[in-house]
Copies of this chain bind each other. A is one copy, B any other.
Amino acid sequence: MSPQSDRPDLLFPSEPSQRAIARELYALVRDRPLISPHGHVDPGMLADDVAFPDPARLIIVPDHYLTRMLLSQGVPPAELGVPSVDGEPVETDGRTIWRRFAGYWHLYRGTPSRLWLEETFANVFGVRTALSPATADEIYDAIAAQLAQPEFRPRALFERFNIETLATTESPLDDLGRHAKLAADGWGGPGGRVLTTFRPDNVVDMEFDGWAGNVEQLGQITGEDTGRYAGYLAALRKRREAFIAAGATSTDHGHPTALTLRLSEAEAATLYGRGLRGEATPEDAEAFRAHMLVEFAKMSIEDGLVMQLHPGAVRNHNRWLYARHGRDVGGDIPQATEYLHALTPLLDAYGNDPRLRLVVYTLDEYTFTRELAPLAGGYAALYLGAPWWFLDSPEVLRRFREAVTETAGFYNTAGFVDDTRAFCSIPVRHDVSRRIDAGFLARLVAEDRLPLDEAAETIVDLAYHLPKKVFKIGSSIK
């Protein structure tokens, strides 16, 4: 698939000399396979390969970028079919949801959501009609008709999207059965097309609902005594091995802050016991999370898994939304995130060890030049993850390059990560990133700061070689 053929100059600088260079650079990566080393696609979707539901349930209902914008204008998520946790009835008719959404299309002007949807409509479903209340039904019907065709099954789309590797994200409590099915079908396993990622938050974060029960379950799965801290560590190691066997090349850690801490084994065991007895304070929970990041860095050096850190989200800030609709529906908000002092204990321990690869993300762009670029440009273990979530947008992707390149260069960044659960939006998200990088490099060339041949090599590295290398995709992780 050659995406965006309708809008060949989408997102390129309009100044003609820069645009000409951007086109030339973009042409080098437009058709490169997609490397998606981190995201939240449901592996069951690809394991079972069943048809997608109706357009509203596929595209609107699960996309909290979309539903939160309507909430911000007073439209309750229930009217868009977002499932409730309290039994409150929600809209269930796909077409009604779709029509309702179309009435608010102007709200998305200038947002990446708008761009992602338009390009998904055009390039995935061949729908080039502009969305409006008048065209809502026509577009709904066109997409619904396509979704019924076998070439719109997940695996067929995966191939059409030219995805080379896609990593999903699972808890250590996941039995990895869906990944086993994928491996059996020739789609998963080490070096396969679909990989898993080890995300242990629900057994690490004592403030996670049901943590103690999760930890107990972790013990049952692994046959380790997670009633003791040593058994807990052993259980985590065992699950990491199981994830590696299922194809994982990386871990992921979503924490409120970037705090790291080196506790003695005795101190860690004490905190752990307090957690199990339900006596942990918020400070205990934070200290334990911080300590475990250093433990996980140590494990990464041992077993080779690349480590990812996603700090800075205040989860469920919108309490009304959380009470009615639960987690991950748009109620999280970023907070100021300090990296320098927070990461010091981990960096003191392993920051100069090239065997560790720690990819750090941020929701706080006001750390780009002050902390993140200097750290990534000065520690062997540290890489900068692509702008994430609220920052995964054309303007910020551009500002990211403008801010971090001068101190960290291109090669201490980790390549684009779509980080999405919206499977159909994966091509456009990567395409946007490639276009922005083409535009940024075009400016360097146009301002005589980089020769064209080096810009050409760089854009291919950024789009393809760098994420494969940093995330150890397609190679042995050890």
User: A341–B336 Cα gap in the complex (Å)?
Assistant: 10
Contact status A11-B317, CB under 8 Å: no
Which residues on the B side are within 8 Å of A393 (C-beta)? 406-407
Contact status B109-A331, CB under 8 Å: no
Q: Mark A100-140, 1 if CB is under 8 A from B, else 0.
A: 00000011111110010000000000000010000000000
A216 nearest CB across to chain B (Å) = 33
A199-207, A273-281, A284-292, A446-454 - interface stretch: A446-454
User: A374–B320 Cα gap in the complex (Å)?
Assistant: 16
User: A71–B377 Cα gap in the complex (Å)?
Assistant: 8
User: A340–B382 Cα gap in the complex (Å)?
Assistant: 29
Q: Mark A311-342, 1 if CB is under 8 A from B, else 0.
A: 00010011111000000001101111010110
Indicate if A408 sits at the interface (CB-CB under 8 A).
yes
Which residues on the B side are within 8 Å of A107 (C-beta)? 409, 411
Contact status A74-B380, CB under 8 Å: yes
Scan residues 416-434 of chain A and give those whose CB is less than 8 A from a CB of chain B: none
Scan residues 1-51 of chain A and give those whose CB is less than 8 A from a CB of chain B: 7, 9-15, 17-18
Contact status B352-A363, CB under 8 Å: no
Which residues on the B side are within 8 Å of A382 (C-beta)? 72
A17 nearest CB across to chain B (Å) = 5
Contact status B73-A412, CB under 8 Å: yes
Contact of A448 among B11, B378, B402 (CB under 8 A): B11
Contact of A379 among B72, B364, B451 (CB under 8 A): B72
Which residues on the B side are within 8 Å of A377 (C-beta)? 68-69, 72
Contact status A110-B371, CB under 8 Å: no
User: A391–B406 Cα gap in the complex (Å)?
Assistant: 9
Of residues A11, A18, A366, which shows the largest number of chain B Cβ atoms within 10 Å of its Cβ? A366
Contact status B344-A340, CB under 8 Å: no
User: A14–B14 Cα gap in the complex (Å)?
Assistant: 11
User: A454–B341 Cα gap in the complex (Å)?
Assistant: 46
Contact status A13-B447, CB under 8 Å: yes
Indicate if A365 sits at the interface (CB-CB under 8 A).
yes
Of residues A71, A73, A377, A454, which shows the largest number of chain B Cβ atoms within 10 Å of its Cβ? A377
Which residues on the B side are within 8 Å of A169 (C-beta)? none
Which residues on the B side are within 8 Å of A13 (C-beta)? 447
Indicate if A188 sits at the interface (CB-CB under 8 A).
no
Indicate if A351 sits at the interface (CB-CB under 8 A).
yes
User: A47–B370 Cα gap in the complex (Å)?
Assistant: 37
Contact status B73-A411, CB under 8 Å: yes
Known: A371-B333, A373-B390. A111 touches B405 (CB 8 A): yes
Contact status B407-A111, CB under 8 Å: yes
Closest to A130 in B: B451
A333 nearest CB across to chain B (Å) = 5
Contact of A321 among B7, B14, B352, B371 (CB under 8 A): B352
Which residues on the B side are within 8 Å of A10 (C-beta)? 447-449
Indicate if A93 sits at the interface (CB-CB under 8 A).
no
Known: A69-B377, A379-B318. A402 touches B395 (CB 8 A): yes
Scan residues 373-417 of chain A and give those whose CB is less than 8 A from a CB of chain B: 373-380, 382, 390-391, 393-396, 401-403, 405-412
Contact status A395-B403, CB under 8 Å: yes
Contact of A369 among B115, B373, B375, B390 (CB under 8 A): B390
A50 nearest CB across to chain B (Å) = 33
Contact status A17-B17, CB under 8 Å: no
Known: A109-B454, A370-B334, A447-B13. A412 touches B72 (CB 8 A): yes
A/B interface sample: 25 pairs, CB < 8 A? A12-B447, A14-B447, A69-B377, A72-B380, A73-B412, A74-B354, A110-B409, A110-B450, A111-B405, A111-B407, A112-B406, A317-B340, A317-B347, A318-B351, A319-B348, A320-B352, A321-B352, A330-B378, A333-B340, A333-B378, A334-B371, A334-B374, A336-B370, A363-B370, A393-B407
List the 5 shortest-distance A-B pairs measured between CB atoms, nearest first: A74-B354, A14-B446, A110-B405, A393-B406, A74-B380
For the complex with contacts A130-B451, A393-B406, 20 further pairs of A-B residues with Cβ separation under 8 Å are A9-B447, A10-B449, A14-B18, A14-B446, A106-B454, A110-B405, A110-B450, A317-B340, A317-B347, A320-B351, A333-B340, A333-B378, A334-B340, A334-B371, A336-B338, A336-B371, A363-B370, A369-B391, A370-B390, A394-B406
